[in-house]
Amino acid sequence: MIGITVSRTRRAFALAVALVAATTALAACASPAATPASSPAATSAADSHNDVDVEFATQMVPHHQQALDMVAMTEGRDLSPEFAELTQAMKAAQTDEIGLMTSWLDRWGVDPAAAESDHMAMMHDDSMGMMTDDDLAALRDSAAINFETMWLTMMIQHHEGAITMAQDELANGMDADVRALATGIVSAQQDEIAQMKAMIAAG
């Protein structure tokens, strides 16, 4: 399994970025003669978004950040090779995705910190898959023999929440770039959930 997670995660993120680039390019190449500048449809697809897109990005940024906080807890521990590679793949992908979503929020004139006021509500909404402060403290203090299984169990829940959020974006969002990223998140995190469940089963 070593190497599989990295390649799958990179492929999923690369696909999302490629779809974003393709959407932007197509919008840039649209004929001005076909759509009068005064028409609402003249706005490029890359600049079209709705409240669902904004909510997805503002909530997914802190959601990803919590995953990075969990990855940080693995540092300095004696980890199995597959587990170590999995955590680094997640770190790389989710760091890139935070940067992408933050750039969208900046483009839309939305403060990326806007979701902070909703942080506690997110932690207590089971559909979000967020860990509570007590969960994170228990993970941080867990013995080495239990750490990887506890971490994987929590991250499965965390990924399931991210997938639910991404599926809501796909059902109700408008921005093609955001929807492309949501597609990549669903694909990559479903693969990682399958791997994490197999790792737990293998002991």
Convert the pLDDT of each residue in 11-36 to its tens digit. Answer: 554 545 444 444 444 333 333 333 33
Convert the pLDDT of each residue in 189-198 to its tens digit. Answer: 999 999 999 9
Convert the pLDDT of each residue in 155-173 to its tens digit. Answer: 999 999 999 999 999 999 9
- 125 versus 50: the higher-pLDDT residue is 50
Convert the pLDDT of each residue in 70-114 to its tens digit. Answer: 999 999 999 999 999 999 999 999 999 999 999 999 999 998 776
Convert the pLDDT of each residue in 26-63 to its tens digit. Answer: 333 333 333 333 333 333 444 689 999 999 999 999 99
Q: Does domain 4-22+49-202 fall into CATH 1.20.1260.10?
A: yes
Distance CA 154, CA 186 (A): 17
